[in-house]
Structure 1
Amino acid sequence: METVKKIAVVRANALGDFIFVLPALRALKETFPGAEIVYLGKPWHQEFLKERPVPIDRVVVVPPYPGVGAAYDYQRDEAQLDQFFAEMQAEAFDLAFQFHGGGGNSNPFTKRLGAKKSIGLQAAGAPPLDINVPYIMYFSEPMRYLEVVSKAGARTAFVEPEFETIPSDLDELKTIIPNYQSKKFVVIHPGATDLRRRWSPENFAAVADFLIEAGFTVIVTGSDWEREVTDAVIKNMAQKKHVLNFCGKVSLAGLTGLLSVSKLLISNDTGPLHLARALKTPTVATYWCGNIITSAPFTITLNRTLLSWMIVCPVCDKTITGPASEQNDKDCKHEISFVDGISIEQVKIAAFDLLQQSEEWPKEAEQLPVSPSNYI
């Protein structure tokens, strides 16, 4: 391939989505070290990634565009978009990568950037790019994007997402807990965008009590919009006076710092889980079986993933994941947990296993049996 001087990457979505593309971004930087990588994302990308050691040189915020950084039914501002695309075409990108789903909306967006060559994902019926990789829903997310960049010859030996902290990430924690270095933190994150992926607050509460009784400082985290579920966890705790509620109290940078010094994160399948895994913080996660195909960790030393095999809604009896289930998934509106089949004991044992492995579990605390049979 001829000399590549500037690369556009389209990926304007959430935290976990960004973590999944880190190996592909690294492959691009390693393969084209002289090229400028321009990430087309959301305002939070621009704020959070500034001055961080990531394989991105610049973030450009995408204006609201249906299906790319905005709801599909969002009313387009054509004048704003015309100006944006004129600016992007003036960048003279050599390559533009579409990492933003099946391409129904994002492929026309990517083509309009005017790059010499466009490469990305294409679902059935989506408009094509110059080079296309089939978008199949049930496939590993990090590997999906590594395959896309491989079409331009990009390779890396680092296929697992990795993320580094910067010193300022700890500023908020230092302010809230000045003596944070003397604490043994375990973070519990009970939220998730999809309510069906949420383990019940009562379950998280029982695990939090167990860890506090063992001597750990438990912190419950969440965004402002997750306050209802974080409050429910604390309400159901016997040790509620000893838990720290960080819901809405720290920025994404502050959460990064907290996770980096925590002994363990216990979470649903959601963005902070994937951030913690990229930081190499030990994690215990509850997973709906379909999601394990797309976002499973590549290593197990620091990660325990507990699976729920429930795929039929107990209210409407619709099968909402698996082959030919797309319409059922849209029809089923019942916001009930599909992961509550994972027991409290399973999560306790997984947490104990990881904390004992890292020699953080107190000898005087309750000892639990650990064997392969404890895991799904």
Structure 2
Amino acid sequence: MNLIVESVERIAVLRATALGDLLLILPAVEALRRAYPAARITLLGKEWQVPFLRGRPGPVDDVVPVPPMEESLDPPPELVGRFDLALQMNGDGHHANAFVNGLGARVTAGLRGDDAQPLDRWVPYVPYQHETLRFLEVAGLVGASSDDVEPRMRVTRDDYAELRSVLGQLPRGLIAVHPGGRDARRRWPAACFAEAAARLGRPVAVTGGDHERDLVEKVAALIPRSIPVVGALSAGGLAALYTACDVVIANDSGPRRLAAATGTPTVGVYWCGDLINAGPLTRSHHRPLISWTTQCPTCGGAGLREPGGCDHPVSWLTDVGADAVAAQADELLNA
């Protein structure tokens, strides 16, 4: 069956999310680019994505920031009727499908949860499915396909220039650890990061955002020869830093996905359910270590994604040992 939409000049892709979530759609958007080589692809996203993607080689031609859909389901008037094809890659569609339908595109396609509006073409949103494969299914609804499942992102001269201006000359043999993450339950303990890094005997960059300053400084204080890098680099500059590293050790986070997208080997520490949805899909350069903890270590409550799960801010990843992480990193370093 030929699912290609004829005479498409402009495509909208809705993905108004954080860094790591954006990276997960790249294989699907690359597939759209190959299927519709003459079309202009616009990412409907967030303000931070504008400077990050401006001038960066890749499948996205431009970024238009959109307001939070929780505040308004109506797209800005200047976007209505602008696109031939609109794809919803923003989640289960509870808010997003109404927004995409409001764009007035000739054909809409995307994900649909139980309480979401239907689109012209849709696949069901189910909780446990890898996000990249989910979005490739969406691309498939309009005739796009790809054998590439790992996101790829080009690092630019401007990214490298930013890195040099902020950090100067970096030591040879550098590795990075990123101990942060949005959810304390999904963060490996700081002492474990320090122990794993110390076993490798390399100079270490400890990365994090401004909101993670205390955590970065805690980890850096435990690692000799460490370089704390806190909120000093843009996403592009951080990508350049990771290309200068021989391996990156991180939680399931945007920075781990960013490092992987630049081609740097990674070791990630995952809660088992999160590995299903967002872990690396290949193993030659990326090694996940998995926590099989299924109940809150504090109260014994339900799993992280289950109804009625608790919010105790304790790590669910403590059953992953520093020796196992260091062993996987050492194997990648010596591959």
Q: Which amino acid aligns with 2:194?
A: A
Shift of 1:65: 2.6
1:120-139 deviation digits (Å, cap 9, x = unpaired): 10111222111111001100
Query: Where does residue 105 of structure 2 map in the other structure?
Result: 115
Confirm or deny that 1:337 pairs with 2:315. yes
Shift of 1:248: 1.3
Match of 2:197 among 174, 195, 208: 208
Query: Where does residue 59 of structure 1 map in the other structure?
Result: 63
4+ residue runs over 4 A deviation: none
CA RMSD, Structure 1 to Structure 2 (Å): 1.5
Alignment of 1:345-360 (within 5 A): 345-357=323-335
Confirm or deny that 1:24 pairs with 2:28. yes
Distance verdict in 2 for CA 1:179–1:4, change over 3 Å: same
Distance 2:311 2:150 in 1: 34
Distance 1:342 1:225 in 2: 25
Query: Where does residue 279 of structure 2 map in the other structure?
Result: 296
Shift of 1:157: 3.0
Q: Which amino acid aligns with 1:339?
A: L
Confirm or deny that 1:262 pairs with 2:245. yes
1:216-267 deviation digits (Å, cap 9, x = unpaired): 22000000011121122123x152xx21110111111110100112101000
Q: Which amino acid aligns with 1:356?
A: N
The aligned length equals 331
Query: Where does residue 244 of structure 1 map in the other structure?
Result: 227
Query: Where does residue 138 of structure 1 map in the other structure?
Result: 128
Query: Where does residue 169 of structure 2 map in the other structure?
Result: 179
Q: Give the TM-score of the pair, scaled to structure 2.
A: 0.95
Distance 1:356 1:284 in 2: 14
CA contact (8 A) 1:6 1:36 kept: yes
**Aligned partner of residue 246 in structure 1, secondary structure:** strand
**Structure of larger gyration radius:** 1
**Aligned partner of residue 31 in structure 2, secondary structure:** helix
Q: What 5-or-longer segments of structure 1 have no aligned partner? A: 67-74, 358-376
CA contact (8 A) 2:14 2:87 kept: yes
CA contact (8 A) 2:186 2:271 kept: yes
Distance 1:153 1:209 in 2: 49
Q: Give the TM-score of the pair, scaled to structure 1.
A: 0.85
Greater displacement, 170-179 / 46-55: 170-179
Q: Which amino acid aligns with 1:183?
A: R
Q: Which amino acid aligns with 1:47?
A: P
Query: Where does residue 319 of structure 1 map in the other structure?
Result: 302
Query: Where does residue 363 of structure 1 map in the other structure?
Result: none
Confirm or deny that 1:222 pairs with 2:208. yes
Distance verdict in 2 for CA 1:151–1:234, change over 3 Å: same
Shift of 1:90: 4.1
Query: Where does residue 89 of structure 1 map in the other structure?
Result: 80
**Aligned partner of residue 44 in structure 2, secondary structure:** strand
Q: Which amino acid aligns with 1:328?
A: G
